Chain A
């Protein structure tokens, strides 16, 4: 070694320079990382350890017109799991399953959700009972990534009596998100489905908040982040409906068990007071889908035929038809029967409505012609939805023109007169929803114009006039009063309330006929229009008592109305019938014969 002190000093100087240079490089690297790139790494550190958790906004409550609660929120709990990988989630779920029941289908579902959003906690139980929470909390140390969150839970105090009306809430589906059906909703959002919850979801839902939790490298929750870092949810707005919860509950209480059907009550200015559908369900534990249905409008449609004829000036209230009712009308080689075999004899319009005489309306229909029936029906709104502010309303079926039948059956394979007769008594290719028929009767009960029914917000569309004079309207109302006073629904006549209404029996090729009754009261100054339909009820008269009781409950109050006799539905002794009979075939049908018959009917019309 060259050890002279000059050389050593020289080397020491070089070594010092190398050391200083190396440390400057290190310090430079730290300066770059810690000072220049500080913000980038701070953000990375935050995303490392902070996980956003959605905070469900409390949904707005739904109230009836008097402020009674249809839907509100109560505290509930959700259970979620944070996980690093599918495998770790699976193993934690296996441990969860040791404490609370968890089937394999649910596990598959949870894993699928996890794959959609890995950095968010996967939802295990949306609404966990206190028992489940207690058990999981007890074994928290075995369940890394467990997040238990207090969350507002939807409660429907009126339960099944309002199910179809309010709808229900559930987690938004991927299909909904893709279709952007719920603006602002993200994966995991709770949204309203069907009914008012669906229709007014925007108003009710509010804006979700977010909070951050701190997790460690294994994805285990360490602590809640300071409240300042979280964004509180904005609660949804409440909505006040036109519903009368007492009336709604009353309908539910009188409705016969096991019978499918529906009942709608609305005021003459379109406010819906009750909307009931059976079979119902408990919206608090909803699983299936909501049904809504269309039925042939049957005899209640005769009022529409009468209104068309009056509007066109073909008849007046006292007009009689050329053929008196002898139990049927012969058309070509077929006899179209009246529901009353003995016949009604000669009737004027009011008498025909009261007795629901089919033969009268066959002739009236032929006088109007199928074209006019279709045209006017469309104008009266039988082709449109009622427009009520509820999700998933079905469209009625009503043809716009004769071309419909050509398309359906082929140009020469249907008979215009036969179809006309069917339409005249509310059968044929015409099916209506209950609410649409009630809307029409509300037009008759009110000032002669149908208004769009509503539950929360009145529709902006203008009332649709039926085109009847006050005298004609009054006459039709008198006819409807007569139905209850001495006609098909006379069994329901009560001294305390004058009810006007119309029974109907819709042909059902699949079994017993369906029963209709639409009525309003008080007959002279209507306050409520109520329509009811029961499937397989055989006759409209079966339904009438329920509708009448609903009217009495609303107008006369709770003290007057007793329970409806439940035996009515199966009571074979009901005499006053209103069926829509099927025509009797005399000969193999021929279109020519039918046409000739129609022509002869036309010739019989009085000269205008």
Chain B
């Protein structure tokens, strides 16, 4: 190796995923019916080139520069999110939403992707500047606002999937900064209350258990009150909130529970994706040969449902290989975060783990109906320029953190 300080594991696993992704994209374009996926792999190669350049630039920037630029980047991305709410356009599965920024009729990118990275950097900067990890709700107000503002703006587009990614980043980084897991659990408790509120009996049980937990864990008095109030409030607003949802939104949630409710419309994606994956079996139907994909039964096979192509054509074995690569990536990133030279770097890398992981788990999960269908891409696989560049920036940053820690002698043998 010319440069022994480059983290070879990260580079290898990243290029493994990129090549796997390109191969899958190529196959996604091989259909018997003309689809938009046809030339996607060629354009993606261009984006890969752009991404490598972007990662190379970030790799050469000091983390201090990133830390310094984080607030400006964060404000910029909030502004963009605001603009896109006013003039944004839809695309793909979400034609009616406002998630794309267009200039002169050309869609140049989704500000929500940029906002994810900016939020990671901003939150890393804020949390790393504090001596102690947040212990009470009061301590959590600022970090919650940092994540909450872009999250709400994205939710307004509406883009439920990306909003979920902010939540993932939030919890991951709070955990990494040292917030106790029981605090994280209490933070998540209103959501549990909301979900259980549709069954009065289950909700009653939950409230009893929750009170016992509060008594046992003895948080601050004010936290005690707020958490209990939030849980009760969630239980109360659940039904009215459900009724206020538009019928198509209700349908989406219902079809998650049972896709056969509406097999032609809302449940179509969920059913066809599972059919494609299920018909793959152990070894799949063969690379580029998947009939469900070839005959266009599989929707969005080059973007949101690119992983279904892997499932259909390469089978369970191919899925295992792809998931292993992703798991490998996360473990490498985790190691880099653990051995980072300073809190900001460590938090930033772990925030990236939270970002990527939410994307992977939600995207792969929805192809087998493990998660509700929200249109978020699979990192390094799904076709798309802006998201690929964001991913490249993140990995360039991680590579730099790893390089820094090796330079300072922190690296393992």
Q: Which residues of A contact B (CB under 8 A)?
A: 1-3, 7-9, 11-12, 14-16, 19-20, 22-23, 25-27, 29-35, 37-38, 40-42, 44-45, 48-49, 214-218, 220, 222-223
Q: Is the CB of B278 within 8 A of A19?
A: no
* 20 A-B contact pairs sorted by A residue (CB < 8 Å): A1-B176, A1-B347, A2-B132, A12-B334, A14-B181, A15-B176, A15-B334, A16-B331, A16-B334, A19-B327, A30-B277, A30-B368, A33-B311, A35-B281, A38-B279, A38-B280, A41-B277, A216-B296, A217-B33, A222-B295
Residue in B closest to A85 when the chains form the complex, CB atoms: B264
**Assembled-state Cα–Cα distance A49/B334 (Å):** 44
- Is the Cβ of A22 less than 8 Å from the Cβ of B133? no
For the complex, give the distance between the alpha carbons of A44 and B276 in Å: 9
Alpha-carbon distance between A524 and B350 when the two chains are bound, in angstroms: 117
Which of B33, B316, B334, B350 is close to A34, meaning CB atoms less than 8 Å apart? B316
A294–B278 alpha-carbon span in the complex (Å): 68
Q: Roughly how many angstroms separate A16 CA and B320 CA in the complex, as a whole number?
A: 18
Given contacts A2-B132, A16-B331, A42-B279, whether A34 and B319 have CB atoms under 8 Å apart is: yes
Q: Quick check: B279 and A19 within 8 Å, CB to CB?
A: no
* Closest partner residue, chain A, to B326 (CB atom): A23
Minimum CB distance partner of A223 in chain B: B32
Q: B343 and A45: CB pair below 8 A?
A: no
Q: How far is the CB of B348 from chain A (nearest CB, A)?
A: 11
Contact call B33/A214, Cβ cutoff below 8 A = no
A1 and B316 contact, Cβ closer than 8 Å, known pairs A23-B327, A30-B311, A48-B297: no
Q: Any chain A CB within 8 A of the CB of B237? A: no
Q: Are B327 and A20 in contact (CB under 8 A)?
A: yes
B128 & A1 in contact (Cβ 8 Å cutoff): yes
Residues of B within 8 A of A32 (CB): 368
Cβ A26 vs Cβ B365 within 8 A: yes
Instruction: Report yes or no: A42 in contact with B281, Cβ–Cβ below 8 A.
Output: yes
**CB <8 Å contact, A214 and B334:** no
Partner of B275, one of A3, A7, A20, A41: A41
B172 to chain A: closest residue by CB: A15
**Hey, which chain A residues are within 8 Å of B133, CB to CB?**
1-2
Main secondary structure of the interface of B (DSSP, over half): helix
Cβ of B296 and Cβ of A45 under 8 Å apart? no
B27 within 8 A of A: no
A-B contact number at CB 8 A: 142
List of A residues within 8 angstroms of B128 by Cβ: 1
Please measure, in the bound complex, the distance between the C-alpha atom of A12 and the C-alpha atom of B282, giving whole angstroms: 33
* 9 nearest A-B residue pairs (beta carbon): A41-B278, A45-B279, A216-B295, A2-B178, A217-B296, A1-B343, A34-B316, A38-B281, A29-B368
B residues adjacent to A (C-beta < 8 A):
32-33, 127-128, 130, 132-133, 175-178, 181, 272, 274-282, 291-292, 294-297, 311, 315-316, 319-320, 323, 326-327, 330-331, 334-335, 337-338, 342-343, 346-347, 350, 353, 357, 361, 364-365, 368, 370
Chain A residue numbers with a CB within 8 Å of B338 are 8-9, 12
Residues of B near A22 (CB, < 8 A) are: 357, 361
Q: Which residue of B lies closest to A46 (CB)?
A: B279
Q: Would A26 and B323 be within 8 Å (CB), given that A44-B278, A216-B32 are in contact?
A: yes
Least Cβ–Cβ distance between A376 and chain B, in angstroms: 73
Q: Which residues of A contact B315 (CB under 8 A)?
A: 34
Can you name the residue of chain B whose Cβ is closest to the Cβ of A220?
B33
Q: Report the separation of the CA atoms of residues A30 and B132 in the bound assembly, to the nearest whole angstrom.
A: 42
Contact of A31 among B294, B316, B331 (CB under 8 A): B316
**Across-interface contacts of B176 in A (CB, < 8 A):** 1, 11, 15
Question: Known contacts A25-B370, A49-B295; is A19 also within 8 Å of B364 by CB?
Answer: no
Given contacts A33-B274, A48-B297, A216-B32, contact A1 B331 (CB under 8 A): no
CB proximity of B328 to chain A, nearest CB, Å: 10
- Sample of 5 further A-B pairs with CB below 8 A, known A34-B316, A214-B291, A214-B295: A15-B175, A26-B364, A26-B370, A29-B368, A222-B295
Known: A30-B277, A218-B296. A8 touches B327 (CB 8 A): no
Q: Which residues of B have CB within 8 Å of A3?
A: 342-343, 346
Chain A positions within 8 Å of B296 at CB level? 216-218
**Which residues does chain A contribute within 8 Å of B279, judged by CB atoms?**
38, 41-42, 44-45
Query: Which of A1, A15, A33 has most B Cβ within 10 Å?
Result: A1
On whether the beta carbons of B334 and A19 are closer than 8 Å, the reply is yes
- Distance A214 CA – B296 CA, assembled complex (angstroms): 12
Of A9, A34, A45, most B-chain CB atoms within 10 Å:
A34
Q: Are A1 and B178 in contact (CB under 8 A)?
A: yes
Across-interface contacts of B292 in A (CB, < 8 A): 45, 48-49
Asked if residues B331 and A30 are in contact (CB atoms below 8 Å), the reply is no
| B316 nearest CB across to chain A (Å) | 4
Residues of B within 8 A of A215 (CB): 295
Contact: B361 with A217, CB < 8 Å?
no
- The CA-CA distance from A448 to B370 in the complex, in Å, is 88
Write out the residue numbers on chain B whose beta carbons fall within 8 Å of the beta carbon of A19.
327, 330-331, 334, 357
CA A19 to CA B172, docked complex, whole Å: 11
Closest to B298 in A: A217
A374 to B300, CA, bound (A): 84
Residues of B contacting A11 in the complex (Cβ-Cβ under 8 angstroms): 175-176, 178
